[in-house]
Amino acid sequence: MDISIVSLIATLIVAATPILLAATGELIVEKAGVLNLGVEGMMIVGAISGFIAAVNTSSPFMGFVMAAVAGAILSYLFAILTQVLLANQVASGLALTLFGLGLAALMGNSYSGVKPPSTPKMEWFGLADIPVVGPILFNHDLMVYFSIFLVFAVWVFLKFTRGGLILRAVGENHDAAHALGYKVVRIRVLAILFGGACAGLGGAYLSLIRVPQWTEGMTAGAGWIALAIVVFASWKPWRLVLGAYLFGGVTILQLNLQASGVDIPVSYLSMAPYLVTILVLVIMSADRTRASLNAPASLGKIFHASS
Amino acid sequence: MKLLKTLMAGAALVVGLGGMAQAQEKTKIGFVYVGPVGDFGWSYEHDQGRQAVEAEFGDKVETMYVESVPEGADSERVMTQMALDGADLIFTTSFGYMDPTINVAKKFPNVKFEHATGYKQAENVSTYSARFYEGRTVIGHIAGNMTKTNTIGYIASFPIPEVIRGINAAYIAAKKVNPDVKMKIVWVYTWFDPGKEADAATALIEQGADVIMQHTDSPAAMTIAEEKGIYAFGQASDMKQFGPNARLSSIIDNWSPYYIARTQAVMDGTWTSTATWDGIAPGMVGIGDFSDNIPADVQASATALKDALASGATHSFTGPLNKQDGSVWLAEGETADDGTLAGMNFYVEGIEGDVPQ
Amino acid sequence: MIRLELRTDPSRAMVALTPLLAVLATMIVGGLLFATMGKNPFEAIRMIFWDPLFGEFAFYYRGQILIKAAPLIMIALGLSFGFRAGIWNIGAEGQFIMGAVIGGATGLALYPLDSFIVFPLMIVMGAFGGFVWGMIPAFLKIKFNANEILVSLMLVYVAINFLSGMVTGVLRNPEGFNFPESRSFQNFPAANNAELWAGTGIHWGVLMTLGLVIAAYLMLTRHIFGFNIRLAGQAPRAAKFAGVSPNKMIAICLGLSGALAGMAGLFEVTGPAGKLSTTFPVGYGFTAIIVAFLGRLHPVGILLAGLLLAVTYVGGDIIQSKLSLPKASIQVFQGMLLFFLLAVDVLVNFRIRFAKRGRA
């Protein structure tokens, strides 16, 4: 087998970044006690919004900004539904996904086949030329490094800041937090907006860098994978990186196995990432003590001040 | 029950007759696409054909189209809708529309149907396809000359005869000019999925390919090739804007001459059910301009090859050729017949790996 | 300032009214959407809702509506029981596919046997295939506490790939020139789920669906299981005290919805789709979720909601070919329907009060 490990790792980092971005946002949302299943919808709306913005302004940076904004706006609909109108979170998240998929397809109708402006790779003063470590660590575009930075920022926020503490409190016991005077609804809405923005960025990464092109349905389940990774990570930020890279790795590996002539039927190789996700989910959930210590206790429950 | 059946048949007949009467005024032509017209590939080229028909006949025709129609019951509904709407001629542009086309054709005997890449005909159903493999021969010839790593990467969609023909034709031509050449194949099991195609292209490049060919519909592979400084060929449409440096040449589907001819036949009343399989000569398969990256002598030999295929002097599958398992397929000078080509499910000698089963 | 005030009892009038409000709101916003795309909104809305039922070619469309609605309703009926009890089966699409594959494979294995037993056997195997696929998340939830939403969803992608592998390999039509699809059931009379009366669109699946609607209604309102489901959804702790075993509930709900989805898949593959191929999955499993909610998780409501969504599908095809609107517009429409339904749902349990500023 003729697989270049270095190249493989570099590619899997790129493959994992959109999922990592979306999962990081969803982590915050779930830590606040809300289960937003609409990640797929927000990602794809981010993908097309970022694409349209980048094509029309010839700036990939504007693309990412607009993607985050669009993701946030879409998630705001979810926020209103679940926090103000007290709708069921599972159904609302699904509605968001279906609506988002359709909306993105509609918006992107005339953008099929269009070429977006390319995002430059970061120049680290020639560090990329170091053998082995160079291409893996230093030859990526800005968003890859930003995704790692985002995980770091979220980790710091949750662990060391007062805001993070309040967020976690709201997620663990929203009634107690409310009794203490914290504005549960507002905090949750902000968390949801953040989650939407991150998902939008993840989607834009797909359409602007990874493929890079726009197609209807291009997220192909990435949003659902992001949700699974949050569980896999036991709601701990650094574990997200592990989960995302694992999933990205399996995806890339199966393609490379094929290209190098290994004789496993394609369909079964393609199943691998999803089966691995299930396996990991089971393992993480089976350890009831550990899992239950980390899942926010109020996850998915509806909060209403008067009830 | 029987009354309902009779009423339905009667209604269909009336509409069909009405459609025929309309033919004297405007000829209505419907197009059913399997993908989006913006795919810059398969469906895009069919739509170019439709626009050519409009340009040629102007006010005498009215065209309508529906894109991204899934194969199956939905396509049957779309075709029925078009027929009910008064279409005289309907082009169904994907293999998967075969049974639906036959079913709808039965209900509307006065409407003519043209089914692309299929093999079932009826009195009012024709089939048509292009000898894409002739185009593959030309680009295989170029690829064999241009590859430095002696590895050609092939992004294949489904292991159907059409795709396998393309792989074989490209390999045969490449090997003729470069006996050391190898082919690495990735099956993506989709006609159009830019994400998968991009990943496949990346994987092939990581495996050492420096020329990429594809039998899928999006420009994703070309875009990746451009990014990584690899060569690639456009598929179905030229794709130059996606790979100004990467693109060496392309295979271009040109349906316009056929579509115009068939529309004319319907208007003249001379339409009959035929099975067409045209190649470079009648213009159905076009070869894109050669990039300046190709040395002059290779350009000359490629052009000569293309002309030879057009004139019939050369055939893409000429012996001596063996099958992958070593058994003799074609003797010296023997050419493959259409029947074998239509059902091709084996690789020729030299290609590694198995056809997915 | 708008305030939400909890009602003493859920409003019964609102329960019936809210779906209609949601549809109305969707029509208005949808119309606006079409207007921004440069089309006449009234014409577009008319083409979506009116033409399929009463328009020029409605004699053809009405049958198509039934064909489209049957699988949606069948799947949604199964889902509704689980949803009531808080058991979220999001993988109905995967169960639909597996039912078609297992049931279809059974039929193909018996080809060309011409016996009346073939079709019923396929139905049973189709239900079984979906049942097994639904029991996987059930088992994993009961044994390992794994979230059934994510597991069932991942299994959808596994099922899609499994189908792909089957039709390119074992189930491929040997006389089909290597194309990735199975033998056509249309050419296999013992297994063909043809229209019973030409042009009406009524096939065995449609009849089965009608029967299931009645059965579901009876089960929900008269049978102890229906009572337990409703109890588990509204008062989980009370249910536990009453002896309802949560594990049993999970198993039955997921198994049932899986079986129904699988059966729907079998009827679809032997009827409208005609054969197993890589393009067989079209998203019915996900649309059925909208149908379930729109129908308020009640069998009669689901029947109506399924018909409504089928109308939007057929109407969507009409606006595509007549107004050149993209296919995605209907998806947006359907997503909006669910959104608005969830939004107006709040009126069932809460009253809107306009409070004056500066209360003491």
Q: Which of residues 93-132 of A touch C (CB under 8 A)?
A: 94-96, 98-106, 109
CB contact under 8 A, A81 and C339: yes
Is the predicted pLDDT of residue A290 greater than 60, yes or no? Answer: no
Convert the pLDDT of each residue in B99-125 to its tens digit: 889 989 998 999 999 999 888 888 999
pLDDT more than 70, % of chain A: 84
**How does pLDDT run across B246-260, given as a tens digit for each residue?**
888 888 888 998 999
Yes or no: say if A78 and A93 are a contact pair by the CB < 8 Å rule. Answer: yes
Whether B277 and chain C come into contact, CB under 8 Å, resolves to no
Q: Find all residues with CB under 8 Å of C50, minimum gap 6, and list them.
A: none
Output the DSSP codes for C234-250. H-HHHHHHTT--HHHHH
Q: How many residues does chain B have?
A: 357
Q: Which residue has the tokens 């496993």?
A: A264
Mean per-residue pLDDT for B48-72?
88
Note whether B187 contacts A258, CB cutoff 8 Å. Answer: yes
Rounded to a whole number, what is the distance in Å from the CA of B149 to chain C's nearest CA?
A: 32
Q: How far is B287 from chain C (nearest CA, A)?
A: 27
B350 to chain A, any CB pair closer than 8 A? The answer is no
A115 in contact with B, Cβ within 8 Å: yes
Percentage above 90 pLDDT, chain C: 26
* Average pLDDT, integer, range C170-179: 76
Q: Which residues of C touch B161 (CB under 8 A)?
A: 177-178
Q: Is C318 on the interface with B (CB under 8 A)?
A: yes
Q: What is the pLDDT of residues B51-62, one digit of tens each?
A: 999 999 988 899
Distances (CA, A) of B137 to B318, C134, C201, C307: 12, 49, 48, 53
**How far is Cα B80 from Cα B83, in angstroms, rounded to an integer?**
5
A37-46, B12-21, C325-334: range with lowest mean pLDDT: B12-21
Range with the lowest mean pLDDT among A197-206, A252-261, B184-193, C328-337?
A: A252-261
Between the alpha carbon of residue C127 and those of residues C4, C72, C130, C210, the distances in Å are: 45, 15, 5, 17
Neighbouring chains to C with at least 3 Cβ pairs closer than 8 Å: A, B
C4, C146, C329 ranked by CB distance to A106: nearest: C329
B17 interfaces chain C, CB cutoff of 8 Å: no
Question: Mind telling me how many Å the CA of A261 is from chain B's nearest CA?
Answer: 6
B202 interaction partners in chain A (CB closer than 8 Å): 11, 255
Helices within A108-160 (DSSP H only)? 133, 142-160
- Please list the residues that pair with B328 across neighbouring strands: B322
Which of C147, C286, C319 to probe by mutation at the A interface, max A CB count within 10 Å? Answer: C147
**3-class SS at B26?**
coil
Are C163 and C278 in contact by the 8 Å Cβ rule? The answer is yes
- For residues C259 and C134, the answer to whether their CB atoms sit within 8 Å is yes
Between these two residues, C330 and A287, which has the higher pLDDT value? C330
Contact C332 A103 (CB under 8 A): yes
Is C187 an 8 Å CB contact of chain B?
A: no
In the predicted model, is pLDDT for residue A288 greater than 70?
no
Residues of B in Cβ contact (< 8 Å) with A8: 206
User: Regarding beta strands B182-187 and B151-156, do their DSSP bridges make them parallel or antiparallel, or are they unpaired?
Assistant: parallel
Say whether C157 and A221 touch across the interface (CB within 8 A).
yes
Does A261 sit within 8 Å of B352, measured CB to CB? yes
Q: How confident is the model at residue B20 (pLDDT cuts 50, 70, 90)?
A: very low
What are the residues facing B65 on neighbouring strands?
Answer: B31
CB neighbour list of residue A108: distance below 8 Å, 6 or more residues apart: A48, A51, A52, A214, A215, A216
B3 near C CB under 8 A? no
pLDDT tens digits along C100-153: 999 999 988 887 778 888 889 999 999 999 999 999 999 998 888 888 888 888
Residue with more model confidence, B245 or B40: B245
Kindly list the residues from chain B whose CB atom is less than 8 angstroms away from the CB atom of residue A112.
36-40
DSSP codes, C91-137? -HHHHHHHHHHHHHHHHHHHTT---TTHHHHHHHHHHHHHHHHHHHH
Decide if A297 contacts A174 (C-beta within 8 A). no
Reported as a pLDDT band with limits 50, 70 and 90, residue C212 is: very high
Nearest by CB to residue A87, choosing from C150, C336, C343, is C343
A77 at C interface, C-beta within 8 A? yes
Question: What confidence category does residue B5 fall into, taking pLDDT thresholds of 50, 70 and 90?
Answer: low
Of A112, A115, A256, the CB nearest to B206: A256
Whole-angstrom distance, CA of residue A202 vs CA of residue A100: 14
pLDDT surpassing 90 at residue C95: yes
* Residue A42 CA: distances (Å) to CA of A89, A92, A227, C42: 15, 13, 13, 30
Considering only residues 232 to 261 of chain C, which have any Cβ-Cβ distance to chain A shorter than 8 Å? none
Please tell me what DSSP assigns to residue A131.
T
Q: What's the predicted TM-score (pTM) here?
A: 0.83
Q: Residue B214: pLDDT band by 50, 70, 90 thresholds?
A: very high
pLDDT at position A23: 94
Residue of A90, A109, A275 lying closest to C88 (CB–CB): A90
Q: Is the pLDDT of residue C278 over 70?
A: yes
pLDDT at C211: 93
Does position B22 have pLDDT exceeding 50, yes or no? no
Using an 8 Å Cβ cutoff, are B285 and B132 in contact? Answer: yes
CB contact under 8 A, B187 and A266: yes
Would the pLDDT of A51 be above 70?
yes
Higher pLDDT, A4 or A280: A280
pLDDT at C18 over 70: yes
The interface predicted TM-score of the complex, written ipTM, equals 0.79
pLDDT at B16: 45
Contact criterion met (CB < 8 Å) for B223 and A216: no
Give residue B10's pLDDT: 46
